[in-house]
Every structure is written in C-alpha cells, then in structure tokens.
Amino acid sequence: MNKAVFLDRDGVITEDIGYVNKIEDFKLLPNAVEGLVLLKNYRLFIVTNQSGIGRGYYKFEDFFNYNKRVLEELKKHNIKIEKTYFCPHNPEDNCECRKPKTRFLEDAKKEFNISLKKSFVIGDRKSDFEMGRNVGCKTIHVLTGNGSNAKNEVHPDYFARDLLDAAKWIIKNDK
C-alpha cells in the first residue's frame, strides 16, 4: 500500500486571503515548494473545502482555473499532486464531503491504494486534524494559515512553522 500526504491548499500551500479564487491572487507560501520536494516518496493530494462556491462568491470555473494555476506552478518544480478533492458546499448543507468528514480520504484509499494509517494530513484548521484523526492519519498543524488560532482546540501530532518544517517532521517520524 502507498503512503500519502493529504494537504489543505489555502494557508498550507498557497496564501489564504479568504475565498481565494482569482489567479492574480495566487501566491505560494514561503517554503511550500521546498517542503513538497522533500515529500517526493509520498503520494500527494489536495483536500480543500471551498464553500465560496456554495455561497455564490465564485463559480466552479474560478476554482478550477485557480487550482490549475497552483498545479502548474508545482509541476515546474517536479511536484505531482495526484488529485485535488474539493467540497463546494456550505457548512449548513451537511454534505458527505466537507472536512472533517472523511469521504475524500476514503476515496483516495480505494482509488490509489493508500494506507491511511501510514499517511499524514497537513492543514491549518481544526477540520483538517479531525478528518485525519478520524481515519488514523498522523496530523500536522502548519502555522502559516488563518486557522492558527485553533491551536488549543485540537491536538495534532505536530505543530509546524511551515510546510518545510512539516515535511522534515514527516520524514523523521515516518515509521
């Protein structure tokens, strides 16, 4: 079975300015590329809640165009994201795909032969850590996003300064 790293996008890989959807707002966070390069022996996935679609702040097309830009930039550095899983729903919709629900991790497990117990979730919000914990992944809270105030609400396995720090911790603690 394969090992994976499931990453939130906004606040972990890219700057989170709130409901990010415009290509001109695209900005990789410092050390994001360096961290992802270190994770070359893992299958990489983006798992992101995008309630701005459900709220009518932007359209599916805006999300796809922005995400395509993210993937193109990462590809320039030989970083392959296997798949982007996204939930377009409002929190009130009570859908099956919004984090902290685990549908996307279960889908990746089946589709890519992933061992969730040997995988990691990196995020900046409580919902990221809950999702990872619910399937037995190790969880890492990066302090680069807007959810850094969740520090006392959830207890991830590690608090990381950024994605590079998270990647180093994964490599050191992957057993």
Task: Extract the runs of DSSP E, i.e. beta strands, from 74-115.
Answer: 81-87
Whether 157 is a known active-site residue: answer no
Q: Where are the alpha helices (DSSP H) in the chain?
A: 32-38, 51-54, 60-75, 103-112, 126-135, 163-173
- Name the one residue in this structure whose structure tokens are 């302090």: 143
Angle at 21 between CA 18 and CA 22, to 5 degrees: 110
CB 114 within 8 A of CB 85: no
Whether 8 is a known active-site residue: answer yes
The catalytically annotated residue of 8, 62, 124, 165 is: 8
Q: What is the layout of strands, in order, in the sheet containing 43-49?
A: 81-87, 43-49, 4-7, 120-123, 138-142, 158-160
The catalytically annotated residue of 10, 62, 124, 128 is: 10
| Residues known to be catalytic | 8, 10
